Amino acid sequence: MQNELVIVLDFGGQYNQLIARRVRECGVYCEVRSYKTPLDEIKKLAPKGIIFTGGPNSVYDESSPHIGKEIFGLGIPILGICYGAQLIAYTLGGKVETCTVSEYGKTETFYNKHCRLFGSDPELPASAVSWMSHTDRVTVLPEGFTAAAHTKDCPFAAFENTDRNIYAVQFHPEVNHTQYGIRMLNSFVKNICYCKGDWNMRNYAQKTIEQIREKVGNGKVLLALSGGVDSSVACALLSKAVGDQLTCVFVDHGFMRKNEADEVEEAFRDWNVKFIRADASERFISRLEGVSEPESKRKIIGEEFIRVFEEEAKKIGAVDFLVQGTIYPDVIESGTGDAAVIKSHHNVGGLPDCVDFKEIIEPLRMLFKDEVRKLGEELGLPDYLVWRQPFPGPGLAIRIIGDITREKLNILRDADLIFREEIAAAGLDRQINQYFAVLTDMRSVGVMGDGRTYDYTLALRGVTTTDFMTADFARIPYDVLEKASIRIVNEVGNINRVCYDITSKPPATIEWE
């Protein structure tokens, strides 16, 4: 059974992922496609609705992305957001000009409750705050369109043509700062596109398991398991689909958090899967002796991982399929439409040529991170795996500034565990998207037990983010930071000072190295 579909046509907007996520939160399956997608392909997809994203361009600039009028003749409801709204007006004969007063941030917006887009939700108030970000605005509506909302400086903050099923908003309903924004998107997909909302992880799991069984047949499947949520959920899916035809290789490089390697092994002990734990910790630590430059650390760890994986793969023998935990943001960030390529994702990360396989299986390719977590819960994975903190491939090796020693690894493991325990005890573990400790290479003078100390400074880091491309430092309450600091200094040797990193991304990155 095919899910109902809404497609997002990407015109280079920074919130393209977020729009799709919000639509899926309404229980409707949504995909991001380039605005260059041929009309025939859109027809074959048979979407119930189409959403145009925002973008950084001006529609009256000939070099900006445009779209043919033919799409408006498909009879499919269309919603334009920001640049998408201006594009609708410009393409259909309206006028778009530079604003006399630009609007950025939270803006009081007044809605026409008699219009279809806003009037179909009785709980939507006549005015509320919306999130604006534009230097152009629609100054003349196309023929047949009527205003649906306005602000002090924008007469057409929303407009619509109900006869043609075309709707447009200048603001961003997908952003949390827009009050009732999710209700507006829900109104579009449910009340205008008439979607029932058949998208959920239970149905996705059942359908994906059936598809994997059909594809794999009697073949052998190999998965490089990190213990992170993506690879863990991929393992659970494949385990239910093909059972002992799957072999998972977990390379323990010795830079995992405290007890984590054992927890990963324990988590998969009862799954119907061949689990291989390759303990290569001594090998990795030896390779990194005396290395302090972060990029060198990454390259050495990456190369050594490949070598260990290669050795383990040879022991298994011929493999038909390789599983990787690619998720939908990986696909989108690698480039759609005129959006910038943020980073190209190569989830097999240079796997050795000798691992010969017929095909790559990516069972999570169309899921966002929050959906992967929901799928993990649906498949019965334990909470500590489903809600595991994002963890870099090189692990603690890039959370120790400077050279790496076994002593420093033990110090950081103990301190990081205490920080995570205190965050969890305060009930903040699902509110803060990533939090961890960093052992700096700085020593400072301290006083403990009336004696002088000269020990390491530990930095704590916590961020909130929706996409990990930008992030704000988490406003952790002082009393929580104080508890973590007191425990760390008293329970962990060689640390006499604790700092909290209050830098956002950009200018900083989330990780220190």
Percent of the chain whose pLDDT exceeds 70: 93
pLDDT average, residue stretch 88-102 = 89
pLDDT at 419 over 80: yes
pLDDT tens column, 348-382: 333 444 445 678 888 998 888 888 999 999 998 88
pLDDT of residue 272: 72
The catalytically annotated residue of 4, 31, 103, 174 is 174
Per-residue pLDDT for 347 more than 70? Answer: no
CA dihedral 270, 273, 278, 284 (to 10 degrees): -90
Per the annotation, the verdict on 346 as an active-site residue is: no
The b/e string for 375-385 (b: 16+ C-beta within 10 A; e otherwise) is bbebbebeeeb
- 26, 30, 31, 82: the catalytic one is 82
- pLDDT confidence band for 338 (50 / 70 / 90): very low
pLDDT at 333 over 60: no
Which entry of 31, 172, 248, 513 is annotated as an active-site residue? Answer: 172
Q: What is the pLDDT of residue 383?
A: 84
Q: pLDDT tens for residues 421-443? A: 999 999 999 899 999 999 999 98
Q: What would the mean pLDDT of 265-281 be, rounded to a whole number?
A: 84
pLDDT given for residue 173 in this prediction: 94
Domains and CATH numbers, the chain: 5-192 (3.40.50.880), 201-386 (3.40.50.620), 399-500 (3.30.300.10)
16 within 8 A of 331, measured Cβ to Cβ: no
Q: Cα separation of 250 and 80, whole Å? A: 46
Query: How large is the average pLDDT for residues 191-199?
Result: 94
* pLDDT single digits (tens) 25-63: 999 999 899 999 999 999 999 999 999 999 988 999 989
Per-residue pLDDT tens digits for 131-174: 898 889 899 999 999 999 999 989 999 999 999 999 999 999 99
Which pair of tokens denotes residue 44?
A: 């074959």
pLDDT, residue 358, reads: 73
Percent of the chain with pLDDT over 90: 53
Checking if the pLDDT of 195 tops 60, the result is yes
3-state secondary structure of 480: helix
Output the pLDDT for position 119: 87
Q: What is the mean pLDDT of residues 244-261?
A: 90
Two tokens at 7? 């497609």
- Answer yes or no: are the C-beta atoms of 19 and 169 closer than 8 Å: no
Neighbours of 80 (CB within 10 A): 26
Annotated active-site residue 172? The verdict is yes
**What value does the mean pLDDT take over residues 97-126?**
87
Q: Give the DSSP H or E segment for 323.
A: strand 321-323
Report the pLDDT value the prediction gives residue 351, as an integer from 0 to 100. 44
For the question of residue 174 being annotated catalytic, the response is: yes
Cα separation of 483 and 416, whole Å?
A: 13
8 Å CB contact between 67 and 55: no
At residue 210, the pLDDT reads 93
pLDDT of residue 352: 44
pLDDT at 265: 85
**Tokens coding 248:** 């998972």
Query: Per DSSP, which regions of 46-94 are E strands?
Result: 49-52, 78-81
Give the per-residue pLDDT at 341: 38
Which amino acid, one-letter code, is at 109? T
| Nearby residues of 351 by Cβ (< 8 Å), 6 or more positions away | 224, 306, 309, 322
Q: Provide the terminal-to-terminal Cα distance of the chain, rounded to the nearest Å.
A: 46
Distance (Å, rounded) from C-alpha 455 to C-alpha 164? 70
Instruction: Check residue 354 and give its pLDDT.
Output: 45
- Model confidence at 250: pLDDT above 80: yes
Res 336: pLDDT: 45
Q: How far is CA 314 from CA 71, 311, 352, 353, in A?
A: 52, 5, 10, 11
E-strand stretches of 24-94: 29-34, 49-52, 78-81
Q: What are phi and psi of 359, to 5 degrees?
A: -160, 155
205 pLDDT band, cuts 50/70/90, is very high
Which pLDDT score is estimated for 410?
A: 95
Least reliable range by pLDDT among 98-102, 126-130, 497-501: 98-102
Stronger pLDDT, 171 or 465, i.e. the higher one:
171
Work out the pLDDT band at 468, boundaries 50, 70, 90: low
Preceding peptide of 56 cis, ω within 30°: no
Fill in the amino acid letter for 263. Answer: E
Asked if the model's pLDDT at residue 416 lies above 90, the reply is yes
For residue 349, is it left (φ>0), alpha (ψ between -120 and 50) or beta? left
Measure the CA–CA gap between 40 and 46, rounded to whole angstroms: 10
What does 349-383 look like in DSSP terms, one character per residue? TT--TTS--SEEE-TTTT--HHHHHHHHHHTT--H
Burial environment of residue 129 by CB neighbours within 10 A (0 to 12, 13 to 18, 19 or more): middle
